[in-house]
Structure 1
Amino acid sequence: MGKVRLICVTFSQLFRQIYRTHDEPLDVGIVTTRSNMISLPPPSSPAASPSASSLAMETQLKIWNIFCDSTAEPILRKARLAHVHENVGIIVTIDDDVFLLSRDTSDSEGSSLNVIKVPELCGVRVKEFIMETKYMCIVTKAGDLYSWSRYRIGGGPKDRPRLKLGSLHRRRVSMAVVSPGAKIGLALTDDGQVHQWGCGKKDPFLIEKDPQRERITSLACIDLICLALTKTGEIYYWKIENPLGKPEKMESDLTPFKKITTSKSVIIGLTVQKTAHLLDISADTPVWSPVLIFGVGDIASHFTEEFCLFEVADKIRLGKMFGTNGWMCSFPSSTGVDEIFAKTFQKSHRSIKPRIEMVGPRESGHSLCEDIARLWDANDADVIFSVECKDIGAHRVILKCRSTHFAKMLENEWKEKKESRIVIPDTKYCVFEALLYFIYHAKLNLPSDQYENIFDLMKLADCYCELSLRQECEAILIQNINAENAFFLFQNASQASADELEDQAFKFIVDNRSTLLDNISSSADLENMLGAQALSKMVMGLLRRYR
């Protein structure tokens, strides 16, 4: 921290210095002697054992052939992010280690699974992979973009992941896409600018911006044309043959678009009126032609396959294969999107993250859910928890059915203690009550402005493997970041491995620095508020963002 104080007298000056430079062109449980009480150690922290997210991922990834080998199981148990392309898979663990798994299908005798660690990508907090047969892009949560060519070489990569710079230097990448064969690549930065590389140009270059254009939110590209979707639903395009890459607005009578995606040779658009369209690029000016599927709520595709998935009413999904031998089939609503792509191509259409799984009954009728909720107010509890010297009752059968953590604990430590009060240490009563309330009602009962209690509940939910509750808490905190709680959330997010919350709190502080730092006269004051570790992380985040 001494180095930080040498850079500037106050933290506000550090902000100004960075922005001026880069705005140029660019525990053990409670011990008690009471015979009718037992003491329960606090649940293991996520750092000590796989979290709820990774436990959910292990089952989730078994639909992919590359992850079914027993060699992969130790890595799967700690997975937080994954991507698959046929006989290659890549996994990011909760420790932020990255492993490439591959199998050489050219071996007629059948090959074993090759697993290698990728040191260049360890610790960079990967957010998304974009993979095709011989090339991948990696977007990190810090906004860096890596490229990796020729990674599918037996047991190890021939090339190494490299940070892409060029026009991306000092900019934060929010998303990236590549065309089939990786001839063209596009990156969208958080300032709404588009950058392109490929076709002989190795380093990214900036695509010219129309001063009248709204902010771009999404990109798509195939070998001949690139598209950009704005936040108002307008489409801009530019052809690859144009060396300057100057976008033109696509004139159309259609209602605004809300999504664009690509198959191997077709760009598909979805409008706010739930109509889907294919882009015809055979003429000089591209035009949209309708897809005869109505009431389309969402679309998904893979850029290396001539296929698109259309979600219609009641979550029924229609798969359409393009081309002369095209076909269409339907998938039941119980079949997930990842499962469809796994069964059809063994290619994930986007990186795989933990899926929310409600423990116990789902969609089994409102009356049953209401009956379970009514038990919350009943006076026939058969297990009593003592939290902050106050009792709270619950039902063993409900806890065992609705929570894997409670099921395990009731089966083991608490099995012979049916008359005991179970002490829950180091936890606030209102937070533990909110956890039990969620198990009974599948909803949160804490006001959104109680950010400290919601944060504590998020940590408790992670320890108790309540993934859906943990994600709901993090989503509520992100939605309600404000001047009062931004520093608290940034300082403490890492305790719950809440990377997205930390990123959003950091972004809020940076975007509102002029008002948030008015009452902070020196870096020492800010260090007292955040602590040395969080302040150091904030400074490094600023330097990384505007380097």
Structure 2
Amino acid sequence: MYSNPKMICSSLCSWPIFNSLESKFVSQIHMVFVYGTLGNEALIVTKDKMVYGLGKNVNGCLGIGNKNATLKPQKVEALCGKDIKTFACGIGPHVLALTKEGEHRLRKVYSWGFNNRGQLAQCVNKKNSLQVISIPTLVQLRTPEGSASMKRIMNIACGSNHSVAITEDGEVYICGDNRFNQLGNIQNRYFNSSDNEYLFKPQLGNDNLDRKKIVHVSCGGTFTMAITKSREVYGWGNNSFGKLGIRENYETIYTPQRVNLEQGLVVVKVVCGIEHTLALTDEKKIYAWGRNNDGQLGIGHTEFTSQPIMLYYQIRPETEIKWVDIAALNCSNISVAVSEEGRVYVWGNCHGEKIVTPTVTPFSNMHDAIARYGPSVMHEPLILYVNGGSDILECLKTAFNDSSTSDLKIEVEGQVIYVHKAILKIRSLHFKTMFQHNWKENNQSTIKPVQFSYVVYKAFLKYLYTDVIDLPIEKTSELLDLAEEYCESNLKQYCIHMIKQGITVSNVAHFYAIAVKCNLQELEKFCVKFAINHKSAMTDDDFVELIQKMMKTFIMKVGKVGDFKK
């Protein structure tokens, strides 16, 4: 709603599945989508509208016509030339693709992968259903009367095992698993079994919404949320832990019901985790409800709620943060949001840690944040190439260490890094001070700093170009020293954040010592709290090392105030 497609930029190196791709092939990529249990499957769309599958290929979900894994990109012949707009997937996995406008202004939906519950909308009934469809197949939408209907599809969404599409007219078509009525109590005549468990062909679902027009839809694991044209939010399906935002009960909701949001709120986007929901309003506020066992609601504790609660988060005293975008994944408890200042925040399950309040990341887009802290799958496709050219942020990333455009070389430990004086002056107070005076080396083409290692100095320079810290956690302490030496306050805070995210029972003593050395009281307290919370997981050696360093710190502090005489 608020995001600009031109500003969606990220690096493929955040996603391990692309590490083996040749640079020539990478340069031709337009869009990628990573999915699967461990992010081990991907779809790639190139600038010439060719589509490729890469990875494990569970249940034929790559669409390449078989169930064999592939280490090299293989063409998805059925989609090549179709001009793909977006993808969506469930946990089977089952995959949907939506094409852009083509002949007769139609957008078409293709489906493939696991079909055990009718989630691909390809078979007439459960009895003759194909369990796996390994070739993308056009979805035929039919009206309740059974006639073929050529619909202009605006968007698609997948739950764990159900699929939803909304049309230009605000109609909702839905199919798949209905054991929790996530299909909205579709009338019995549409089912081919008496138990109403699965729906194998898509049917119109607006009957239970009083024909309200739907403009946006999102799916959790076993529930569905929708925004109407009047910007009200409705939910149906599994309501355990109050994830539908309906207070009356926590039982399955058989027909769409309005979420208990305040009257007058204008909701522009809703996203679903596996068991929680976030809503973004036109006033740039976030409301959250549902399960909260990992802090995924961002409200400071881990108790669930069926009543939507507004996130109140201050970036400084009396200045409430404003949000412009949100994201969640239907297979995870992580939540992500972008502030008006362009900062990306995460909370919930962040690589096993429970983060109960929005925490700023060192990233400038949600894809990189999810790649670092999430379950290694994408919430939506990543666009790398838009409208025939790269934007300014992508150009800056490309310019780093580019010898063809550089006007300055920095040599560290005998290795050269190619940079640009103007960018260094704009981004770093250290370099601005260095270059603005009548510095004797102003006209020299090479400088040789000696205080820091090549790996750390290169990471610092790359940060100036990308706003991303690309460095192993064990090297972060040296980068922290550099930030202190160069008066880089933002970089310093990013380093502290990285350390917090990377602390383990085996390195907590090391980082505690660093916190004491650099007088980082916040980090010092964090290390102590981490050790207390993970005491049972620490080995005797780890625990003894931490206690020894804490005793040394105590002795030093007491000695400084003159109370320790012996």
TM-score normalised to the size of structure 1?
0.39
Q: Which has the higher contact order (CA 8 A, sep 6+)?
A: 1
TM-score normalised to the size of structure 2?
0.38
Which structure's residues are more often helix, by fraction? 1
